[in-house]
Amino acid sequence: MRIWIKDPFAILADGAERGLVVDGSQIVECVPRGGSPSVAADATFDATRHVVLPGLVNAHHHFYQTLTRAHPAGEGKDLIGWLVAMERVWDRMTPEALRLAVRLALVECLLSGCTTTADHHNLFPPGLDGAVDIEVEEATALGVRMTVTRGSMGISEKDGGLQPDSIVQSADAILADSERVLTRYHDPERGAMIRIALAPCSPLAVPQRVLSDSAALAEAYDARLHCHLCQSPDEDVYAMQAFGKRSVDLLDDAGWLCPRTWVAHGIHFNEDEIVRLGHMGVAVCHLPAADMAFGVGICPTKELEAAGVAVGLGVDGSASNDSSNVMEAVRHALMLQRLRYGHAAISPYDALRWATEGGARCLGRDDIGRIAPGFEADLALYRLDEPRFSGAHDPVAALVRCGAHRADRVMVAGRWRVIDGRPEGVDLDALRAKHAAAAKAFL
């Protein structure tokens, strides 16, 4: 079935003024100005009122935190104080609550125009052994493309770490489950809907063996590696005290400085580290909302990109952002990066590039993040008929500068997953009611 997404009001693609043709899960043709599809389409979608973007890619999240948004336990605390307080709330997570948290987060991402998301699930209290399975089931049911990162925390407070014993696992348990989910779910092929990545919470949160053995597993299964890195200036102070090395060097020792790795935040690197990350092909996911919320600093995107580091975007967990709106993250990134580098240095197109091609590079994918023949048909379509857009000139820039919030149509792998601003196959009111009820257990 060939569908012509015809005559978009505007589109973020080269040579596609008259739209694009989708066949199955892929984009097969871009239609230039004055042209028409080389093979007649079976159906046409009138896009004359839509601004068409490649589906947004969210490269870092913690879905379970949707149950603890605007939570008072963390309010008024710095990053570490917030984390210590919130981990003693999250440790009561159950499979039933996680399933609702995941479903709601996926829907929220989808409605904002996100077609591929990562989720850093690092919470494994007793009884939640099947967390990755739940995420895969929910993403598959909703038809969202996903990289589920099997997170881990391995050093608890009794061993000098921050985490309560209740959410920390042994190295053997972490590595055994990592291999289990890789075997069961990871699809390294082009067009994959589900991939698994391995993601210790940070190089300081697990024994070195978990880092090095995770790198070996990732190599064996052609999977990616992920962790939080250098979010706050305190991190390397602690790393030097506890390990006698900086975080980047701990990763280097474990074989993590390689093109399989993308890291979250990536703010407090020294100049030498930025050069090394670029040289080794490590990617960085910028998380503007969480970084602003904690006042920890601003990701040095210009220096990173100049060194060859791919930069992607993410929303981060819903207890720090506290929203999963990926389009909103694009605007946050534009504003925060302009605060650092000035108006002329960063454009709305830079922020959109991070949220599309940059995110795809974070997730190690060359089949998403662009509208071009051979890429997956992942699209986000927005309308500019709200008052906030009235008077806008550049329609693509307007999405970022005026603050687009909700996609009208979203396609993943050639199938409409959002129609008229509503998620397909989801009773949104019922989901919200169940999710809100489940959240009461986390007060």
**Structure tokens belonging to residue 228:** 């939080």
Piece of 22-30, 209-217, 310-318, 324-332 that binds Zn ion (CB under 5 A) = 310-318
**Under rule CB under 5 A, how many of the chain's residues touch Zn ion?**
1
Piece of 34-42, 275-283, 311-319, 350-358 that binds Zn ion (CB under 5 A) = 311-319
* CA angle, 202 then 151 then 235, to 5°: 10
* Min separation Cβ 210 and Zn ion, Å: 18
Q: Which is nearer to Zn ion, 203 or 395 (CB)?
A: 203
* Min separation Cβ 317 and Zn ion, Å: 5
d(CA 411, CA 163): 39
- HSE of 108 in the Cβ direction (CA atoms, 13 Å)? 25
**Structure tokens belonging to residue 393:** 């000139």
d(CA 28, CA 60): 29
* Min separation Cβ 119 and Zn ion, Å: 10
Q: Which is nearer to Zn ion, 177 or 316 (CB)?
A: 316
Binding mask 16-35 for Zn ion (x = CB under 5 A): --------------------
**Subset of residues 241 to 270 that bind Zn ion, contact rule: CB under 5 A:** none
**Subset of residues 107 to 126 that bind Zn ion, contact rule: CB under 5 A:** none
Q: Which is nearer to Zn ion, 16 or 86 (CB)?
A: 86
* Min separation Cβ 387 and Zn ion, Å: 34
d(CA 221, CA 202): 21
* Min separation Cβ 174 and Zn ion, Å: 18
d(CA 416, CA 430): 21
* Min separation Cβ 287 and Zn ion, Å: 7
* Min separation Cβ 313 and Zn ion, Å: 13
Q: Which is nearer to Zn ion, 151 or 395 (CB)?
A: 151
- Give the CB-nearest residue to Zn ion: 316
d(CA 28, CA 205): 45
Q: Which is nearer to Zn ion, 91 or 316 (CB)?
A: 316
Q: Which is nearer to Zn ion, 224 or 417 (CB)?
A: 224
* Min separation Cβ 286 and Zn ion, Å: 12
Piece of 151-159, 249-257, 309-317, 360-368 that binds Zn ion (CB under 5 A) = 309-317
Q: Which is nearer to Zn ion, 149 or 337 (CB)?
A: 149
Q: Following CA atoms 328, 331, 335, 341 in sequence, which dihedral angle do they give, to the nearest 10 degrees?
A: 130
Cβ-based neighbours of 241, under 8 Å, separated by 6 or more? none
Q: Which is nearer to Zn ion, 291 or 357 (CB)?
A: 291
* Min separation Cβ 109 and Zn ion, Å: 15
Q: Which is nearer to Zn ion, 86 or 400 (CB)?
A: 86
* Min separation Cβ 83 and Zn ion, Å: 10
**Subset of residues 391 to 430 that bind Zn ion, contact rule: CB under 5 A:** none
Query: Tokens 């169940």 sit at which residue?
Result: 434
* Min separation Cβ 60 and Zn ion, Å: 6
**Subset of residues 315 to 344 that bind Zn ion, contact rule: CB under 5 A:** 316
Cβ-based neighbours of 209, under 8 Å, separated by 6 or more? 171
For the sheet containing 379-383, what is the strand order? 10-11, 50-54, 379-383, 409-412, 415-419, 422-423
Q: Which is nearer to Zn ion, 214 or 231 (CB)?
A: 231
Cβ-based neighbours of 225, under 8 Å, separated by 6 or more? 197, 198, 199, 214, 215, 218, 256, 258, 260, 261, 262
Piece of 8-16, 241-249, 313-321, 419-427 that binds Zn ion (CB under 5 A) = 313-321
Q: Which is nearer to Zn ion, 18 or 71 (CB)?
A: 71
User: Which residue ranges make up the site for Zn ion (CB under 5 A)?
Assistant: 316
